[in-house]
Chain A
Amino acid sequence: MSSPILKLVAQRVALGIVLLLAVSVLIFAGTQILPGDVAQSILGQAATPESLANLRAELGLNDPAYIRYFHWLGGVLTGNLGTALSSGQDIASSIRPRLENTLFLAACAAIVAVPLAIILGLLAVRYRNGWVDKLISGLALASTSFPEFFIGYLLVYFFAVHWQIFPGISTVYDGMPFLARLEAIALPATALTLVCLAQMMRMTRAAILNIMQSAFVETAELKGLSAFSIIRKHALPNAVAPIINVVMLNLAYLVVGVVVIEVIFVYPGMGQYLVDHVAKRDVPVVQAVGLIFAAVYITLNIIADVASIIANPRLRHPK
């Protein structure tokens, strides 16, 4: 790889790291808006002033904000995410299995959604302005207005309750056989797929259409190449970058959709974990999980940018 590319990629990654740090500050600051008494909420109304003071000292609540931030950041960087206020459990070890579950669910959805979005996008462009295109685009437009729980509960209503094909509640546990696991997450994975399929398909369609309308595609057609050859030799090499970009951006979007879906299907993942502890006002958990979600989101965005950079022929072969 040539040096301008390496430089640009390095710059982008460095920017991402800076961004991540800034986001960690933001998340930390976000939870300090209301200096509510954490100690009070743990010990309850009947706590004595001494026990409150002790707890505050123990939790380091008397230190100024920036010291607490660096404490926390230091912990995060060494793998110690703190302890949950509500249950006293170590956060990092609670997160690990849940993170695996969420990633598994997201991966299953992505494996189906990405190829499907690309194929549908290609179809829509091939039969542009015909009924196939209008149908696909219309459905896509409609689905972007659908709340995730609508899709989720529709699936549960029909597939779990009426037709009883898949379970409506997705319980998974360690050591579960793979097929059983797949069966358990069938419905949430489908819901998640449908949620991001619409958006992704619209963007792949736009990206491919943009390429197909380029002058060099016309040149290829005027040389007498068949439609298939044109797509394979001329359109595809230039479509790779924008499509990767679209896919990464939508995977980032998928990360958010996971939260609601996990709640619907009571799936023991990160989303469920976060929502439960937000309701309990368990700040350490919220900080840790929020940071992890943000990190995944930022990483996916970085990959999207880096892919764009690498795929640009002007940068790969400078003058």
Chain B
Amino acid sequence: MINITRIPLAALIGIVMTSLFLLAAIFAPWIAPYGNAQIVGDVWQPMSSQFWFGTDNLGRDLLSRMIYGARITIFIAVLATALSFTLGATLGFCAAVLGGWFDTLMSRLVDLLMAIPTLIMALVVLSVLPSTLVTLIMVMGILDSTRVYRLSRAIAVDIEVMDFVEAAKLRGEGMLWIIFREILPNALSPLISELGLRFIYAILFLSALSFLGLGVQPPDADWGGMVKENKDGIVFGIAAALIPAAAIAILGISVNLVADWILNRTTSLKGGRG
């Protein structure tokens, strides 16, 4: 169904890069040349054949830290996205199909949560909660589920007013059939594309939190935390902090390219073999 040669160049680059990052994250302990917390040299040594990215603010190998950082960043982002998506999509679909008081209640709640900028709310909540992994994932997941809720509800409502859903209702089909066999197959494409965007946002959000000191706590570090650790070197012309920042940017662009490609394959409801 998917012909490799017909994938546009941009999407191909996106797929390759994203896969590279994912592989690094999964196989970190086997790929990284040095340990995550192992001090191997002087502070902020420049790039060399021994340390491909140089060393960081404590003398640890930057490349290894980056690879482990990929693991932590992607791990947390994946879990948070999974949470936000499951929560948001399920509630959004139910609200669209059930309507009535459930829909009104949920939508008002979501409106309320979305009235505060996500970062601010996260900061408020993190000022009282401990910064554990679980807390981070929960906070990120719940706050981000609001956007997923809005989107999936809108998609489900759009599809639900189509005549073929009414035809199924008139036939006497049950709720489960209507949601899973009529609505969901038509909602997959925009939802998957949104999944990609949420993932990018989760990474950016997590990095921002870690950068501000409220995310992953040392000695573990995700990429945002690594930027925080090395930022003091910038003033002295040491670019160590730019490397994890660039990695975030590159991963973000790659996922964006893939998400765009998926969205473009079927942009209208005229599905067919897409």
- A residues touching B (Cβ–Cβ < 8 Å)? 19, 22-23, 26-27, 30-34, 36, 141-142, 144-150, 153-154, 156-157, 160-162, 168-169, 252-253, 255-256, 259-260, 263-264, 274-275, 277-279, 281-283, 286-287, 290, 293-294, 297-298, 301
When distances are taken between beta carbons in the complex, the residues of chain B under 8 Å from A142 are 249, 253, 256
A279-B115 in contact (CB<8A)? no
Q: Are B123 and A286 in contact (CB under 8 A)?
A: yes
A36: which of B115, B128, B227, B241 is its contact (CB, 8 Å)?
Answer: B128
Q: Are A161 and B237 in contact (CB under 8 A)?
A: yes
B249 A277 Cβ-Cβ under 8 A: no
A-side contacts of B200, CB under 8 Å: 145
A253 and chain B: residue at smallest CB distance: B117
Q: Across the interface, do B123 and A149 meet the contact criterion of CB distance under 8 Å?
A: no
Top-3 shortest CB links A-B: A145-B252, A150-B245, A278-B127
In the complex, what residues of B have CB within 8 A of residue A36's CB? 128
Task: Report Cα–Cα, A9/B78, bound state, in Å.
Answer: 42
Indicate with 1 or 0, residue by residue over B229-243, a CB within 8 angstroms of chain A CB atoms. 001001111010110
Interface flag for B120 (CB, 8 Å): yes
Query: A-side binding surface: helix, strand, loop or mixed?
Result: helix
Q: Are A149 and B245 in contact (CB under 8 A)?
A: yes
Mark each residue of chain B from 45 to 78: 1 if its CB lies under 8 Å from any CB of chain A, else 0: 0000000000000000000000000000000000
Q: Which residues of B contact A141 (CB under 8 A)?
A: 253, 256, 260
A144-B256, A260-B208, A286-B127 are contacts. A150–B120 as well, Cβ < 8 Å? Answer: no
Interface residue range, chain B: 35 or more
Question: Is B29 interfacial (CB 8 A cutoff)?
Answer: no
Q: How far is the CB of B106 from chain A (nearest CB, A)?
A: 15
**What's the Cα separation between A266 and B241 when bound, in Å?**
16
Seen from chain B, the residues whose Cβ lies within 8 Å of a Cβ on chain A are 111-113, 115-121, 123-129, 200, 204, 207-208, 211-214, 224, 227, 231, 234-237, 239, 241-242, 245-246, 248-249, 251-253, 255-256, 260
Known pairs A23-B112, A290-B121. 14 more at Cβ < 8 A?
A30-B125, A33-B129, A36-B128, A144-B252, A147-B224, A156-B235, A157-B239, A161-B236, A260-B211, A281-B128, A286-B124, A290-B120, A290-B124, A293-B117
Provide the residues of chain B in CB contact with A147, threshold 8 Å.
204, 207-208, 211, 224, 227, 245, 248-249, 252
Closest to B125 in A: A30
Give chain B nearest CB distance to A141 CB in angstroms. Answer: 6
Question: Does A19 contact B112, Cβ atoms closer than 8 Å?
Answer: yes
Contact in complex: B123, A150 (CB < 8 Å):
no
For this complex, 6 residue pairs linking A to B, each with C-beta atoms less than 8 Å apart, are: A141-B260, A146-B252, A147-B249, A263-B212, A287-B124, A297-B115
